[in-house]
């Protein structure tokens, strides 16, 4: 199994300052933004047409916690078989995990021994405006999971083929 780096998500105290820094200074573009549970905002940033986000910013972060600014590390696998292999490994270790589909991925979230968040995911064939997140049943066959995902997210904003989203991103990036 080969893992490839995908993105990091940071807890931030000052969303406006951090967003401005990453877009103005480092050249990232905002790809999506919205609210998540806990009265928090999230901004997704990317420089690549095939990466919805390379960086996520969640805020505001309170002084008293969390103990780190990192929300999670994310790794992509190239097949559902590899994702299911990771699920088996995590289960064999007795770790708690949360299977979450964002419409554009099938993910599992869990923690390392020191509490650092880890996401392992496989891309779906679709793009969906983010943030999204629905628990998926890991016992579904691949065919059942594809059908469930399409049925669950097809009425969400910007739902469509991943390749269309990536082509639009390529055009936006080349115009800068």
Residue 176: burial class (beta carbons within 10 Å; 0-12, 13-18, 19+): exposed
131 is in which domain, residue-wise? 4-166
Residue 52 in domain:
yes
Residue 173 in domain:
no
pLDDT recorded at residue 25: 73
Instruction: Express as a percent the part of the chain with pLDDT over 70.
Output: 95
Residue 155 in domain:
yes
Distance, in Å, from the CA atom of 168 to the CA atom of 134, rounded to the nearest integer, reads 26
CA atoms within 13 A on the CB side of 31: 29
Least confident among 42-51, 59-68, 89-98, 167-176 = 59-68
Residue 174 in domain:
no
Q: For position 123, which CATH number holds? A: 3.10.180.10
Residue 171 in domain:
no
23 or 27: which leads in pLDDT: 23
Is residue 67 predicted with pLDDT exceeding 80?
no
pLDDT digits (tens, 9 = 90+) for 79-109: 999 999 999 989 988 989 999 999 999 999 9
Distance, in Å, from the CA atom of 50 to the CA atom of 135, rounded to the nearest integer, reads 24
The confidence band for 35, taking pLDDT boundaries of 50, 70 and 90, is: very high
Residue 89 in domain:
yes
Residue 102 in domain:
yes
Cβ pair 119, 72 in contact under 8 A: yes
Domain tally, the chain: 1
Residue 121 in domain:
yes
Q: Mean pLDDT across the chain, nearest whole number?
A: 90
pLDDT digits (tens, 9 = 90+) for 156-171: 999 999 999 999 999 9
């Amino acid at each position: 199994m080969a893992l490839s780096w995908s993105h990091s998500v940071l807890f931030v105290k000052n969303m406006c300052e951090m967003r401005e820094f990453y877009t103005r200074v480092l050249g990232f573009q905002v790809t999506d933004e919205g609210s998540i549970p806990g009265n928090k905002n999230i901004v997704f940033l990317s420089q690549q047409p095939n990466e919805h986000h390379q960086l996520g910013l969640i805020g505001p972060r309170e002084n008293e916690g969390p103990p780190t600014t990192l929300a999670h590390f994310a790794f992509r696998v190239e097949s559902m078989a590899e994702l299911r292999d990771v699920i088996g490994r995590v289960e064999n270790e007795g770790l708690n995990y949360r299977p979450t589909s964002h419409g554009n991925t099938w993910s599992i979230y869990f923690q390392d021994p020191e509490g650092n968040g880890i996401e392992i995911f496989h891309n779906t064939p679709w793009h969906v405006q983010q943030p999204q997140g629905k628990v998926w049943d890991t016992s579904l066959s691949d065919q059942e999971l594809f059908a469930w995902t399409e049925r669950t997210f097809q009425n969400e904003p910007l739902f469509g083929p991943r390749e269309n989203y990536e082509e639009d991103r390529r055009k936006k990036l080349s115009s800068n």
